[in-house]
Structure 1
Amino acid sequence: MTQILLIEDSKKLGHDLGIVLEFLGEQPVHVQRAGWTQQVEQLQVRPEALKLVLVGHYKPTLMEVLLQELIDWHEGLPIVLLGDQTMPDLTESVSNRVVATIPMPLSYQPMLDALHKAQVYGDHYNRLREIGNVRDYNMFRSLVGSSPAVQRIRQIMSQVANTEVTVLITGESGTGKEVVARNLHANSRRSSKPFVPINCGAIPPDLLESELFGHEKGAFTGAISTRVGRFELAQGGTLFLDEIGDMPLPMQVKLLRVIQEQCFERVGGTKTMQTDVRILAATHRNLETMISEGTFRQDLFYRLNVFPIEMPSLRERSADIPYLLNELISRLENSKRGSVRFNSAAIKVLSSYAWPGNVRELANLVERMAILHPHGVVGVHDLPHQFRDSQLMDEVLAEEAALSDEHKISVAEAVSEEIAAIPSINGADTHLLPLNGMDLKEYLNNLERSLIEQALDDSGGVVARAADRLNIRRTTLVEKMRKYDLQR
């Protein structure tokens, strides 16, 4: 059985966290920071059996040492930090292991999100270890999801990342082609050198040559000084040619020469300059169709298409939408731009949408809902008009209405069942009160808050419905929501 290692000096906080983790079906092992390695040895805890390490609050200097010790202990172990902390300047190898931060006071959804991210991290690390390549352990951070399409992309990336071949990334707009390019660079031998992107469709044709190769002073009107081009800026690293299908034919000829001969001249210059860059290209266009139409060179296509990666559209991997929502919401929260949640009915409706804008459109929706419903729960009726298919909405709402209340186990009942399942000591009856006591007021407040949150979630954020479910007056619920800072 997998375990969670909890490093926290406060016995009370460690105990409370242990109860929460056990309620979620996890097996926590609590140790203190000083001498933690000896403690885990005595408890016979193996790093391979751990799902993650949950680290409490420590001073930045102590935190830096502790994180490095954990990585030295086992390099594939995901780390989750507890609460907002003042972090030291961490190296990339250390910061990549920190997969999530759980805010305090502890709540249900952030803990679930952190457990999911740790699981994705661990699964990806183990998969790469099996094929003998753990260099690209952090690819999962940008490629969120567990669908077969995403797993196939991760597998392909793990095979090509640490090579020198040219990669052509195709797919619809908004599917994350630049994300793949950046991950390929970050997990290659060139990762310490620059990653230089250029959008070939966003630069006027008469300026594109200067952007790529640079120019000498006086090469043309307005060239008042020498300028370094993108090939020089990317020397030793990776040049990402985004929207390569928008490149004019004359520039395609010059690009082909650079790829073949690995040299170029600045505009207006005579000195031949050697280049050492890896080319990654991307396009949403069908280059083979463009070749037949005479708008793209066939020889350049074969030079670029050494290793193709085709990105799936979001509608082809709609099962990943819940994971993507979690990731996008986490990014909003980490950047202090607000927060929002989607109830199950809304997620089901979103999963059936066609998503012409793919992940980019989903990200825009999350930001919009966070502004319209700050720290609230979005239901199907809160979604913008284009997402609301009337027939599907009727089906979803009918399904929810058909759910019997007896199948909706409350948090209080679930906690009681978990506690009842704990074996009694010396055959005595099991009691709710822990042996070392508890703060009854805090426990009841947390329980009340959890029940209110569940009622609001089940009611799509409608306060009147939630009050009916809790059998209290609407004004009473509003006061309690204000007390617990629950905004809807």
Structure 2
Amino acid sequence: MNFPHDGRYFGFDGAALALDTPVPAAAAPRSRREVIELERRGGGRMPPSIRATALVFEDPRSRALEQRIRLFAASEASVLIVGQTGTGKELVARHVHACSPRASGPFVAINCAALPEALADAELFGHEKGAFTGAVDARAGYFESAQGGTLFLDEIGDLSLSMQVKLLRVLQERSVVRLGARTPRQLDVRIVAATNVDLERAVAAGRFREDLFFRLNVARLEVMPLASRPGDIDPLVDHFLALYAQRGGRPVPKLSVAARARLHRYGWPGNIRELENTIHHAVLLAQGDTIEAEELMLAGVSLSDGRGGESDRLEAALEQLLDEAVEAEVAEEGVFERVNHTLVMLAMQRTRGNQVHAAKLLGISRNTLRTQLTRFGYLPARGER
């Protein structure tokens, strides 16, 4: 893995994502398994504890999202990115910018939820010298700073109604008037907004302007929760394992089969950021070269309460079965048949031969169970009855 970084841009294997300066012209194509990483720097835009810092397009749903990103990036349409906290909305916004004709221009990000109401006008639209107490110099706002590039308005759903009116006017007129000035300044800026708020409901409740919603909701990108795109979990896990092992100056540990299985079963309410924290914690605690399921810190799951233990033991038993089958090379009965046979017999024993109860225990229909029993020779075939 090679993450070029000189303070101006960052990327994976030469595929740079713009921050505030031009991207190098010769950017190598990026495969879907390669991880897009957010530069870890203090900007006050969002607490780092909830920000997703890496994104990958490996799962089929993520591949579909990447395709939409590329289609939308080629246009000048405003983009609205929706998704839960920690899913990587800012990284999606940066990817839109990097894939667009504006990639050589600036990418400016602002967290609308963190804008103080009293300073919002000056921050967004800029001000002239003497416009207010403390304005000792003229200063461009975020809109002007993004000239020729992309302005990312994060948490747009938290913007006050009064600021929504002003933002709508700027978007309609494509110009901005600094505080203390009268002359509008023309803008050449693409708007990408993001929110974890249901804006349709906010419009219905009167908390968000309908006209602004329609202005922003031209090209919509929905970033699915991590649990809905399980194909992204393993590449992200491997990325974070390597990242935090490198930072700790130690060899990259492996995850046991049971540990990976637990990560895939977990619901990830905190999405990518929670996955990162979990892997970071596990790397810090790891004593050997393998991280076990018990070393994973998952919200709402105690390491000693036994939840998940039965499933982990089952995973280990199945792993041993597969290892034995590989060593034997040729088996009279395949592993799948052996497990299926054993499950059916155990269910019948547990229910004392009651087919209805055994089928319910296995989560299958009675007819399916009878088919299995016939196949294993415990019931006569139809022609033999």
2:317 is the alignment partner of 1:401: yes
Looking at structure 2, the residues matched to 409 and 93 of structure 1 have their Cα atoms a distance apart, in angstroms, of 52
Q: Per-residue deviation at 1:92? A: 3.8
Listed one character per residue, the Cα deviations across residues 408-465 of structure 1 (whole Å, up to 9, x for unaligned) are 659xx9xxxxxxxxxxxxxxxxxxxxxxxxxxxxxxxxxxxxxxxxxxxxxxxxxxxx
Determine which of 47, 50, 70 is the counterpart of 1:158: 70
- Following superposition of structure 1 onto structure 2, how do residues 160-199 of structure 1 map, counting pairs within 5 Å? 160-199=72-111
> What SS does structure 2 have at the residue aligned with 1:225?
coil
- Unmatched 5+ stretches in structure 2: 2-11, 15-22, 35-52, 330-385
User: Measured at CA, do residues 223 and 119 of structure 1 come closer, stay the same or move farther in structure 2, by a change above 3 Å?
Assistant: closer
Q: Per-residue deviation at 1:267? A: 1.3
Tell me what 2:277 maps to.
364
Determine which of 319, 343, 351 is the counterpart of 2:231: 319
> What TM-score do the two structures reach when normalised by structure 1?
0.54
* Backbone CA RMSD of aligned residues: 2.9
Query: Does structure 2 retain, via aligned residues, the 8 Å contact 1:263–1:273?
Result: yes
Q: Per-residue deviation at 1:375? A: 6.8
> What SS does structure 1 have at the residue aligned with 2:113?
coil
List 4+ stretches of structure 1 deviating above 6 A: none
2:151 is the alignment partner of 1:239: yes
Determine which of 210, 223, 227 is the counterpart of 2:135: 223
Query: Does structure 1 retain, via aligned residues, the 8 Å contact 2:257–2:315?
Result: no
Determine which of 269, 294, 299 is the counterpart of 2:206: 294
Query: Does structure 1 retain, via aligned residues, the 8 Å contact 2:245–2:283?
Result: no
User: Measured at CA, do residues 235 and 399 of structure 1 come closer, stay the same or move farther in structure 2, by a change above 3 Å?
Assistant: closer
Tell me what 1:70 maps to.
none
Tell me what 1:44 maps to.
none
* Aligned sequence identity (%): 42
Listed one character per residue, the Cα deviations across residues 91-145 of structure 1 (whole Å, up to 9, x for unaligned) are 8455645x7xxxxxxxxxxxxxxxxxx6747xxxxxxxxxxxxxxxxxxx96424
Tell me what 1:346 maps to.
259
- Following superposition of structure 1 onto structure 2, how do residues 81-100 of structure 1 map, counting pairs within 5 Å? 92=24, 96=28
Flag the structure with higher helix content: 1
Query: Does structure 1 retain, via aligned residues, the 8 Å contact 2:13–2:28?
Result: no
Looking at structure 2, the residues matched to 147 and 353 of structure 1 have their Cα atoms a distance apart, in angstroms, of 17
Letter in 2 for 1:270: R
Looking at structure 1, the residues matched to 116 and 76 of structure 2 have their Cα atoms a distance apart, in angstroms, of 30
Flag the structure with more relative contact order, 1 or 2, with Cα contacts below 8 A and sequence separation at least 6.
2
Looking at structure 1, the residues matched to 13 and 170 of structure 2 have their Cα atoms a distance apart, in angstroms, of 44
Tell me what 2:286 maps to.
373
- Unmatched 5+ stretches in structure 1: 1-53, 55-77, 81-90, 100-117, 122-140, 414-488
Query: Does structure 2 retain, via aligned residues, the 8 Å contact 1:345–1:380?
Result: yes
Query: Does structure 2 retain, via aligned residues, the 8 Å contact 1:216–1:225?
Result: yes
Q: Per-residue deviation at 1:350? A: 1.2
Letter in 1 for 2:314: A
> What TM-score do the two structures reach when normalised by structure 2?
0.68
Letter in 1 for 2:114: A
Letter in 1 for 2:270: G
Looking at structure 1, the residues matched to 202 and 228 of structure 2 have their Cα atoms a distance apart, in angstroms, of 25
Looking at structure 1, the residues matched to 263 and 245 of structure 2 have their Cα atoms a distance apart, in angstroms, of 21
User: Measured at CA, do residues 232 and 336 of structure 1 come closer, stay the same or move farther in structure 2, by a change above 3 Å?
Assistant: farther
Looking at structure 2, the residues matched to 409 and 327 of structure 1 have their Cα atoms a distance apart, in angstroms, of 32
User: Measured at CA, do residues 382 and 142 of structure 1 come closer, stay the same or move farther in structure 2, by a change above 3 Å?
Assistant: closer
Q: Per-residue deviation at 1:215? A: 1.1
User: Measured at CA, do residues 142 and 392 of structure 1 come closer, stay the same or move farther in structure 2, by a change above 3 Å?
Assistant: closer
Listed one character per residue, the Cα deviations across residues 185-233 of structure 1 (whole Å, up to 9, x for unaligned) are 0111111110000000012111111111111122222222222111111
Determine which of 123, 126, 131 is the counterpart of 1:214: 126
Q: Per-residue deviation at 1:345? A: 0.5
